[in-house]
Amino acid sequence: MADDRPLSTGEVARLLHVTRVAVLLWIRAGKLKASRVPGGRYRIARADFRKFLTDNELPVTFETPPPKRILVVDDEATVRQAFQAALQAKGYEVALASDGREALRIIRGESFDLIFLDILLPKIGGSTVLKAIKRRDPEAVVVIITGHPHHEETLVALEYGPAVLLRKPIRLSDLDAVFDIVFKR
């Protein structure tokens, strides 16, 4: 027997790999037919969902999208470990580099959805790493992390267009704000 249970906005969002906000906007614009249930939440009949897919020529996949890939570059082991634990707990795939040279080696062979980059690094400074990243991929999303926002190296790095500058110590709410901006959650 087929599952005729209506879909929630979260289920539609997961199937289409969009945010719940996008689903709500489609509902409010009248593009996706939905009904309200007690509590004010929306439910979408499966027939209405299929019609929406057909009308808008949207592909649907039941596969989970791969996790976002994030590179963390920092010379402090405790910072790298804290980032790794926090990011993996949120479902991100994390790579770590302890200096600029290692970061450039990793970046040559892999691509990332987001890069957290400390500025004061041994061997090769953060501004040089950022310049190399932007030369390789001008659309790369880089967040500068530093305890020294007024240091000359930081000011040079700002010329290369990082997405955000976070001042250490970094709070989990800072990371959530970055993800909201970068991944438009």
pLDDT in tens, 74-108: 999 999 999 999 999 999 999 999 999 999 999 99
Q: Is residue 114 part of a domain?
A: yes
DSSP assignments along 79-141, one per residue: HHHHHHHHHHHTT-EEEEESSHHHHHHHHHH---SEEEEESS-SSS-HHHHHHHHHHH-TT--
Residues 34 and 105 in one domain: no
Phi, psi of 80 (to 5 degrees): -60, -45
Whether residue 116 is found in the same domain as residue 170: yes
Residue 148, domain extent: 69-182
φ, ψ of residue 41 to 5 degrees: the values are: -80, 160
Instruction: Answer yes or no: is 126 within a domain.
Output: yes
Residue 46: CATH number of its domain: 1.10.1660.10
pLDDT value at 3 more than 70: no
Query: Is the pLDDT at 33 greater than 80, yes or no?
Result: yes
Would you say 136 and 107 are in contact if contact means Cβ atoms under 8 Å apart?
yes
Both tokens of residue 62?
Answer: 């039941």
Tokens of 105: 């080696």
Residues 150 and 175 in one domain: yes
Distance, CA of 129 to CA of 112 (rounded, Å): 14
- Report pLDDT digits (tens) over 11-29: 888 888 788 888 999 999 9
Residues 45 and 73 in one domain: no
At residue 153, the pLDDT reads 87
Same domain, 133 and 178: yes
- Residue 132: predicted pLDDT: 93
The pTM (predicted TM-score) of the whole model is: 0.67
On whether residue 168 sits in a domain, the answer given is yes
The count of domains in the chain is: 2
Mean pLDDT of the chain: 89
